[in-house]
Structure 1
């Protein structure tokens, strides 16, 4: 029983770490496909449409009507908002930002999620924060340190380290343009789109936590969100993508990236993230985002020929320090709440069992 409990405690940590690694692989692969001319609007629509075809049959097989809570109109509206915020806005802004910049900047800007999520969770009373608590102070300080590390990676490059794109290994994914040949305006524009994606993801985290309290069936929530998101993405793609040939998929890197995005990005990631939010809360999930930047820098250097700069290493160290500080604060706060709860229960037990106190009452 203790082993099972220990595994349940470790599972959310392992799940979020796995998702971060898979997500960075997704951004790297999609960047390579978009560099070869694939439309990011069509990419988002196709990946979510395929994901919906996978999720809906699986969810109704695993959770038939007799084994799940009834659906109401208000719940469907919540699922629609989850699809709008967590799929349509987040993925469209994210893919547009990656298209203008790089996976490394994408992983850096996603570190705004902890701050956004923490603020939203406090505003909507998903998280109760006592500023006098040392645990909450560490969580706030750790979030700020992580954000400063992300800004360091974005604004300070410094001298290059290791190989350059011209001398890069032949195993890199071929692209039609150099991933490092980015203008300053595109880099800033990409950062703005990625910031909007981070805000959307933060809103999704908070709204998802509130929805789970009303409808604690993760797979059904993800399925309906994916369905609504696919319809919304189709409308956006029809409006902004006027080239008919963009809808034709080539059986190469484009098709591979779409299937990877559908299975990993739209099926595995939302299901694991939703379960982790259910187990630990939205702030816990958001705190793992800083780890993605180191993975993105490594994958970018290996597969896209991105040059690793000193600023990336310095920023990654700052992010890791802030990350562990925030996680330490999270654990301290959970321990404090548990001790207070145990203290109240221990005070209540003697009153019920003591004959003298019962006679007095």
Structure 2
């Protein structure tokens, strides 16, 4: 028996076994991280709805949330991109200013006003159709081509049609109301229902928010070319976005009480939005993109719709109707078809 040969085989096999074991260990962490991100988004929408329904000034929420987000991202920038702030010239600063305006100040203002006039379960749909709007704008500006006779191209068209049709269905058709449970925050739910006065106006705000955010994705690609440091770029974007929304807020309301913070739900909403829905979401997304690629995180986006519909009904008490359930199912199906086609297209390149 050749003992030396056996030892050599074992030595070679051990690293491979260790690598396989390590890969298996990471296998569950990527999907778990993406589920957590969708829960972060759901929590932010629900908390924001309750805070706005309780009378919090929207621009104060936007300004504080953005500044808190900058504070949480700053340590990541200092650790992973140490000293890279020195490479930010005036050209890059100009693009980041535009990035903050188009990517945060305008779309999030429109989104929160749309959320005020509708429900969380309805508003979250518009966050999920942003990839579809981005795709349509990319076609309009000829930044992307559509091979409609290919399988991926046909599926993308089907996905867009289903998602837009499902959104219209939710907006126009209510159907039978299902009273499944009593809301946990019953009185809070009544207040937010009273605030949601103009559904059409809210829908217009939400559509505007989706279009602006889709434009932001196109601008973001330019920002990463002129200044390819994602943590510093995100931190400065949050900081500038906070000052932009604060300036608009001061112009609209000189009432000092609108800007005061106490130990209440409003402070929790701001802290949660900055720490988890901004810094936490960004960090987890970046890690998963590095491990699985850019097509992986969007595949989990429909989960935020499911989480929001359920938790909105359980905690706030907004009604679940057969129309909203059917429309939401159609939107999720359309989004999955579109994202699957997009993922296939990326793999085939």
**TM-score, normalized by the shorter chain, greater than 0.5:** yes
Relative to structure 1, is the Cα distance of residues 174 and 22 closer, same or farther in structure 2, using a 3 angstrom cutoff?
A: farther
Q: Provide the alpha-carbon RMSD of the alignment.
A: 3.0
For 2:66, the equivalent position in structure 1 comes to 48
For 2:55, the equivalent position in structure 1 comes to 37
Matches within 5 A, 1:4-83: 15-65=33-83, 70-83=87-100
SS of alignment partner, residue 208 of structure 1: helix
1:292 correspondence with 2:304: yes
TM-score, scaled relative to structure 1:
0.80
For 2:188, the equivalent position in structure 1 comes to 175
1:140 correspondence with 2:157: yes
For 2:12, the equivalent position in structure 1 comes to none
Partners of 2:76 and 2:131 lie apart in 1 by 32
Match among 329, 333, 337 for residue 317 of structure 1: 329
Count of aligned residue pairs for this structure pair: 330
1:241 correspondence with 2:267: no
For 2:268, the equivalent position in structure 1 comes to 256
For 2:344, the equivalent position in structure 1 comes to 332
Offset at residue 192 of structure 1 (A): 1.2
CA contact (8 A) 2:57 2:258 kept: yes
Match among 285, 296, 319 for residue 307 of structure 1: 319
Unaligned runs of 5+ in 2: 1-18
Matches within 5 A, 1:81-96: 81-96=98-113
Unaligned runs of 5+ in 1: 338-361
Offset at residue 238 of structure 1 (A): 0.4
Question: Which stretch has the larger CA shift, 29-38 or 291-300?
Answer: 291-300
1:105 correspondence with 2:122: yes
Deviations 1:82-138 (A, max 9, x none): 111121112211111111221112112334312211023345665454333211221
Relative to structure 1, is the Cα distance of residues 191 and 48 closer, same or farther in structure 2, using a 3 angstrom cutoff?
A: same
Relative to structure 1, is the Cα distance of residues 222 and 11 closer, same or farther in structure 2, using a 3 angstrom cutoff?
A: farther
Offset at residue 301 of structure 1 (A): 0.4
Question: Which stretch has the larger CA shift, 319-328 or 72-81?
Answer: 319-328
SS of alignment partner, residue 48 of structure 2: helix
Relative to structure 1, is the Cα distance of residues 295 and 27 closer, same or farther in structure 2, using a 3 angstrom cutoff?
A: same
SS of alignment partner, residue 198 of structure 2: helix
CA contact (8 A) 2:58 2:112 kept: yes
Partners of 1:288 and 1:226 lie apart in 2 by 24
Relative to structure 1, is the Cα distance of residues 162 and 97 closer, same or farther in structure 2, using a 3 angstrom cutoff?
A: same
TM-score, scaled relative to structure 2:
0.83
SS of alignment partner, residue 125 of structure 2: helix
Partners of 1:139 and 1:132 lie apart in 2 by 11
Deviations 1:141-180 (A, max 9, x none): 212212211221222111111337xxx14x3274284433
Relative to structure 1, is the Cα distance of residues 262 and 178 closer, same or farther in structure 2, using a 3 angstrom cutoff?
A: same
Partners of 1:6 and 1:327 lie apart in 2 by 25
Deviations 1:262-285 (A, max 9, x none): 11233223444566678755x876
